[in-house]
Structure 1
Amino acid sequence: MKATAQPIPLVEKEMIPNFHFSRHDVLESTEAKKKRMWNLNRATILGNGYRGKVEITFKTAEGELKRVDTTVWAVDDKFMTLKGGCCIPISSVVNVEFY
C-alpha cells in the first residue's frame, strides 16, 4: 500500500495568535530565504494594491505545518502582518502561494 501525504490544515487567521513559533528558520538555503522574502514583498504589493489574497504555509514550534488564506499588509525583516493585525515570524514561513 502506498502512503498518502496528509493535507496541510487550513486555519483561520484569527487562530494565529494561539500558535507558538520557533526562533529557528524553517528554511536552510540562502536562495530559499531570498525567494521567500521576494514572495512576501510581492504578496504585500498584491494585498495593499489589489486586496489580493495568498496562501501562506507556516510551521509552528511543535513542528506542525499549517496554511492560512489571507491578505498580507506589511513585511519587515522579522515579521509579516496579515489583515486583521495578526503577525507570523518570517522565519516560520515555509511557502507563499499566489492564485
Structure 2
Amino acid sequence: MFENLIPKEEIEHYQIIHSEEDRSAHWRERLEYAVRLGNEFKSKTTITFNTTEGPKSIETTVWSLAERYLSIKGGVLIPLSSIIDVHF
C-alpha cells in the first residue's frame, strides 16, 4: 500500500516541498488525533508527504502539531503544506 515507505531516520536525505494542493486545514483534525495516539497510546501514524523525488511515506509517532508544521522524533519538522495523506 505504501510503496514509497522510507525509514523516518532517512527523512533528512529528502527535500520536502509543498504538495500540488495545500490541504493543511483538511489534515489538521486527523493530525491532532495522531498526536493524541502518539502521546497517550504510543501508536504510529503513516504520513505521506511530497518531496523533490515524489511522494514518500514514513511510519512515526507524531509528537506535536503547530500552525504550519508537525514534529516527529529528533526534532524533525514536516510542513503541513507538503502532506498528501495521513493514515492510522
TM-score when normalising by structure 2: 0.85
**Cα shift at 1:63:** 5.3
Structure index of larger Rg: 1
Q: Conserved in 1, the CA contact under 8 Å of 2:45 and 2:87?
A: yes
Given the alignment, which residue of 54, 63, 69 partners 2:45? 54
- Distance in 1, matches of 2:53 and 2:12, equals 16
Q: Conserved in 1, the CA contact under 8 Å of 2:50 and 2:56?
A: yes
Q: Which secondary structure does the structure 2 equivalent of 1:21 belong to? A: coil
Question: Which structure 2 residue ranges, 5 or more long, are not aligned?
Answer: none
Root mean square deviation of aligned Cα = 1.7
Task: Figure out how many residues of one structure are paired with residues of the other and give that number.
Answer: 87
Q: Percent identity?
A: 33
Given the alignment, which residue of 16, 21, 27 partners 1:27? 21
Q: Which runs of 4+ in 1 moved over 6 A?
A: none
Question: Which structure 1 residue ranges, 5 or more long, are not aligned?
Answer: 1-6
Q: Which residue of 2 aligns with 1:8?
A: 3
**Cα shift at 1:84:** 2.9
